[in-house]
Amino acid sequence: MKDLNQLLQINLCETPESWERIGFNVDFDSSGASISVGNTKLWFAHNSQTSGINSVCVNGISGNLDSLKFEPAEKTGPKPPCPPHSNHVERIDHLVVTSPDCDRTTVILEEAGLNLEGVRKFGNTPNRMRQSFFWLGDVILELVGPDNPTPEGRPSFWGLALVSSDIDETVRKMGKLCSPVKDAVQPGRKITTVKTRQLPIGTSIAIMSPHVRKK
Task: Break the chain down into helix, strand, coil percent, rounded to 5.
Answer: 15, 40, 45
Q: With pLDDT > 70 as the criterion, what percentage of the chain qualifies?
A: 93
- Confidence at residue 82, expressed as pLDDT on a 0 to 100 scale: 72
pLDDT interval class at 79 (50, 70, 90): low
Mean pLDDT, rounded, of the chain: 91
Q: Is the pLDDT of residue 49 over 70?
A: no
User: In the chain, what's the furthest Cα-to-Cα distance?
Assistant: 52
- Confidence at residue 75, expressed as pLDDT on a 0 to 100 scale: 57
pLDDT interval class at 151 (50, 70, 90): confident
Pure H helices in the chain: 16-20, 102-111, 167-174
Q: pLDDT tens-digit profile of 107-144?
A: 999 999 999 999 999 988 888 999 999 999 999 999 99
Q: pLDDT tens-digit profile of 196-214?
A: 999 999 999 999 999 887 7
> Of 57, 52, 70, 153, which is closest to residue 108 (Cα–Cα)?
70
pLDDT interval class at 81 (50, 70, 90): low
Q: Is the pLDDT of residue 2 over 60?
A: no
Q: Is the pLDDT of residue 215 over 90?
A: no
Sort 5 into a burial class: Cβ within 10 Å, 0-12 / 13-18 / 19+. buried
Q: Calculate the alpha carbon distances from 166 to 35, 171, 172, 173 in Å.
A: 19, 9, 10, 11
Q: pLDDT tens-digit profile of 159-203?
A: 999 999 999 999 999 999 999 999 998 889 999 999 999 999 999
- Confidence at residue 108, expressed as pLDDT on a 0 to 100 scale: 97
121-154 in b/e form (b: 16+ CB < 10 A) is eeeeeeeeebbbebbbbbbbbbbbbbbeeeeeee
Question: Which residue segments constitute the domains of the chain, with CATH numbers given?
Answer: 7-71 (no CATH), 89-208 (3.10.180.10)
- Confidence at residue 127, expressed as pLDDT on a 0 to 100 scale: 87
pLDDT interval class at 29 (50, 70, 90): confident
